[in-house]
């Protein structure tokens, strides 16, 4: 099934059932069909054709969801862009996607103008009059949706979106997500979580990531309602969720740690939430979180490239485990030679779907990366897991050097590239160290050409990196540990931990120079 078919089926069964809320905006199922058709018509009148890409750079708002659905409606390809993207990272996304049109909030236009490739011709501004800006593309206000159009007869295999995810062997990769993948996410997660028409699914995660986008699809599938909240705030989360009438919510590991670390408040149990999908939650927090907040945290495993592959259910969950393999998927756990390992032995997780179009079809314009990731017709996750004799799966660690910080995947390669642009830095290695919030923090080891102030270095990174990617911990070394073939042995650096840092960006005490630190 395709995204337009999902929306039309929901509207035919329950046209007046509430489907979407954002602030004061509320829409039933039929209104969402009309919004998707209207956005699709607006794009088509602008010359967007089937298969063309449209970049979208916006915080959570109805227009962003409408445009994603509108692209699917006419067979175009939505390219949601992380609003924190800057510099070369943003340029790469725009060049790789080959979008001729970007729809963005006004505060993103200067960042787009600074790196826009020649292929980008027009920017539509959401919500406010188009500002007076010197840019290499036309800047126009986003048109009114106007008359809707009929959906194209798309196939489930056709690409609906390109979602960019960070890797470790190069720049961010654009994951080709077919229409059918969103359908199977919805079906699989609705079954796993036991969702139904009475449920209100609340998320404050950004729509440019697969988690929040697929939560909407779950609401479409299960007959429930989707409430899109403001950006996560620990002080506001429980009151926002209660006001939404949420019964199910979506958390990431760092969010759980932040909420658990707050002093008790009057609203933290004044809600209807029964469970939260919460991958990567530390095992030590699961039962205390349930006892304190009344919310069951369910772990699971999926990715932008795959689907809900492994998961726990409200009736079957075990702290410290991501769950069991879900129906419709097959997995292998293999050693470095691709040979399956026995139960209880760590190995790389390989994934295959029995359902057509339930997983991504590759990486956009990156044939070599696609071949490597899907070698032998299995998706190679780059993650190490252990399967127990009874089928329960435990996540061990990441094989790749991707860093997971507060819900964001960070490419160490991209951060290293920026650090090396500084004239005082000869070489850099970026890697993950443990975070007190349960995920990772970014640490960098630097070889210097000349003294540099750590604070100035972070200021240098500001316009070139997303804020969450700027290293928190910095240390100076005389040389980087390397293998015989010249690869940096990051495990050696990781083993020294954050304790080896000479500077902590969040503490910034002492604000010393690298020259002093090196002495």
Give 216-249 pLDDT, tens digit per residue.
999 999 999 999 998 999 999 999 999 999 999 9
Q: Are 239 and 232 in contact (CB under 8 A)?
A: no
pLDDT of residue 168: 42
Question: What average pLDDT is seen over the chain?
Answer: 93
More confident residue, 126 or 437: 126
Query: What is the DSSP track for 6-31?
Result: HHHHHHHH-TTSEEEEETTEEEEHHH
List, in order, residues 6 or more apart from 26 with CB less than 8 Å away.
18, 20
Report CA-CA distances (Å) from 481 to 398, 419, 429, 472.
20, 18, 10, 21
104: pLDDT strictly greater than 50: yes
pLDDT score recorded for residue 73? 99
- Using CA atoms, how far apart are residues 239 and 220, in angstroms rounded to an integer? 25
**Half-sphere exposure for 143 (CA within 13 Å, toward CB):** 15
In the chain the domains, ranked by start, together with CATH numbers, are 25-177 (3.40.50.980), 181-398 (3.40.50.12780), 403-518 (3.30.300.30)
Asked if the bond preceding 510 is cis, omega within 30° of 0, the reply is yes
> Sorting pLDDT into bands at 50, 70 and 90, what band is 11?
very high
Contact indicator for 419, 428 with CB cutoff of 8 Å? yes
pLDDT of residue 396: 81
Structure tokens at 512: 């010393």
Q: 234, exposed or middle or buried, with CB in 10 Å at 0-12, 13-18, 19+?
A: middle
User: pLDDT grade, residue 98 (50/70/90)?
Assistant: very high
User: Among residues 344, 363, 468, which one has the least CA distance to residue 414?
Assistant: 468
Average pLDDT (67-90) is 96
**Residue 122 confidence (pLDDT):** 98
Backbone angles phi, psi at 13, to 5 degrees: -80, -40
44 vs 50: CA distance, rounded Å:
9
Residue 408 reports pLDDT greater than 70? yes
pLDDT for 297: 98
pLDDT of amino acid 484: 43
HSE (side-chain half, CA atoms, 13 Å) at 307: 36
Q: Is residue 483 very low, low, confident or very high in pLDDT (cuts 50, 70, 90)?
A: low
What's the rounded Cα separation, in Å, for the pair 383 and 246? 32
Q: Is the pLDDT of residue 27 over 70?
A: yes
Whether the CB-CB separation of 268 and 243 falls below 8 Å is answered with: no
pLDDT at 54 over 80: yes
Confidence (pLDDT) at 519: 39
Residues 6+ apart with CB under 8 A from 132: none
Whole-structure pTM value: 0.84
Residue 487: predicted pLDDT? 66
Per-residue DSSP letter, 394: E
Query: Per mean pLDDT, which range of 81-85, 152-156, 308-312 is the poorest?
Result: 81-85
Structural tokens at position 193: 């979580």
> For residue range 120-136, what is the model confidence (pLDDT) as tens digits?
999 999 988 878 889 99
**pLDDT in the model for residue 482:** 78
Question: Residue 260: is its pLDDT beyond 60?
Answer: yes
Least confident of 50-54, 168-172, 253-257: 168-172
Dihedral through CA 293, CA 299, CA 304, CA 309, nearest 10? -150
Across 228-237, 280-289, 332-341, 421-430, least confident range: 280-289
Average pLDDT rounded to a whole number, residues 89-111: 97
DSSP 194-228: T--TT-EEEE-S-TTSHHHHHHHHHHHHHT-EEEE
Q: Is residue 168 within 8 Å of residue 59, measured between CB atoms?
A: no
CA pair distance 418, 425, nearest whole angstrom: 10
Instruction: Characterize the bridge pairing of strands 18-22 and 225-228.
Output: parallel
Q: Over range 397-405, report the average pLDDT.
A: 78
pLDDT at residue 518, rounded to an integer: 38
Angle subtended at Cα 130 by Cα 105 and Cα 126, rounded to the nearest 5 degrees: 30
What's the pLDDT score for residue 486?
55
Helices (H), 265-409: 283-293, 367-373
Place 426 in a pLDDT band, splitting at 50, 70 and 90: confident
Kindly state the percentage of the chain with pLDDT values over 90: 80
Annotate 77-92 with b (16+ C-beta within 10 A) or e (fewer).
Answer: bbbbbbbbbbbbbbbb
Write out pLDDT tens, residues 354-364: 999 999 999 99
The confidence band for 253, taking pLDDT boundaries of 50, 70 and 90, is: low
Whole-number pLDDT of residue 515: 41
> In angstroms, rounded to a whole number, what is the distance separating the alpha carbons of residues 143 and 334?
52
């Amino acid at each position: 099934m395709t995204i337009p078919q999902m929306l039309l089926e929901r509207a035919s069964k329950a046209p007046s059932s509430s489907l979407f809320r954002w602030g004061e905006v509320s829409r039933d199922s039929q209104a969402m069909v009309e919004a998707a058709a209207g956005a699709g018509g607006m794009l088509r009148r602008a010359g967007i054709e089937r298969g063309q890409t449209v970049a979208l750079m916006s915080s959570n708002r109805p227009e962003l969801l409408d445009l994603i659905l509108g692209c699917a409606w006419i067979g175009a390809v939505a390219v949601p862009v992380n609003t924190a993207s800057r510099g070369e990272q943003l340029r790469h996304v725009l060049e790789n996607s080959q979008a001729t049109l970007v729809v963005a909030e006004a505060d993103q236009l200067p960042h787009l103008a600074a790196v826009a490739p020649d292929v980008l011709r027009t920017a539509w501004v959401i919500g406010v009059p188009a500002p007076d800006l010197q840019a290499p593309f036309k800047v126009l206000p986003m048109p009114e949706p106007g008359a809707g159009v009929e959906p194209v007869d798309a196939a489930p295999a056709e690409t609906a979106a390109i979602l960019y995810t960070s890797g470790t062997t190069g720049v961010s990769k654009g994951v080709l997500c077919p229409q059918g993948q969103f359908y199977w996410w919805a079906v699989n997660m609705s079954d796993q979580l036991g969702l139904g028409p009475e449920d209100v699914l609340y998320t404050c995660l950004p729509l440019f990531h697969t988690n929040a986008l697929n939560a909407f699809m779950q609401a479409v599938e299960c007959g429930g309602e989707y409430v899109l909240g403001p950006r996560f705030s620990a002080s506001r989360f429980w009151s926002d969720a209660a006001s939404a009438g949420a019964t199910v919510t979506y958390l990431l590991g760092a969010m759980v740690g932040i909420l658990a670390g707050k002093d008790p408040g009057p609203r933290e149990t004044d809600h209807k939430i029964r469970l939260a999908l919460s991958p990567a939650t530390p095992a030590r927090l699961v039962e205390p979180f349930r006892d304190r907040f009344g919310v069951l945290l369910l772990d699971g495993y999926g990715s932008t490239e795959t689907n809900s592959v492994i998961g726990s259910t409200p009736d079957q969950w075990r702290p410290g485990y991501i769950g069991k393999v879900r129906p419709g998927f097959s997995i292998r756990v293999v050693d470095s030679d691709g040979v399956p390992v026995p139960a209880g032995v760590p190995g790389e997780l390989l994934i295959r779907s029995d359902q057509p179009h339930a997983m991504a079809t590759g990486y956009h314009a990156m044939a070599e990366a696609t071949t490597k990731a899907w070698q032998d017709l299995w998706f190679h996750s780059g993650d190490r897991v252990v399967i127990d004799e009874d089928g329960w799966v435990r996540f061990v660690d990441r094989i790749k050097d991707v860093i997971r910080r507060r819900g964001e995947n960070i490419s160490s390669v991209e951060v290293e590239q920026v650090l090396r642009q500084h004239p005082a830095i000869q070489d850099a290695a970026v890697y993950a160290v443990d975070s007190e919030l349960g995920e990772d923090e970014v640490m960098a080891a630097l070889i210097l050409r000349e003294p540099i102030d750590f604070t100035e270095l972070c200021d240098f990174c500001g316009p070139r990196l997303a804020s969450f990617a700027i290293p928190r911990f910095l240390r100076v070394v005389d040389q980087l540990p390397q293998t015989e073939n010249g690869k940096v042995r990051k495990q050696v650096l990781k083993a020294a931990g954050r304790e080896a840092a000479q500077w902590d960006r969040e503490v910034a005490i002492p604000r010393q120079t690298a020259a002093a630190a090196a002495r």
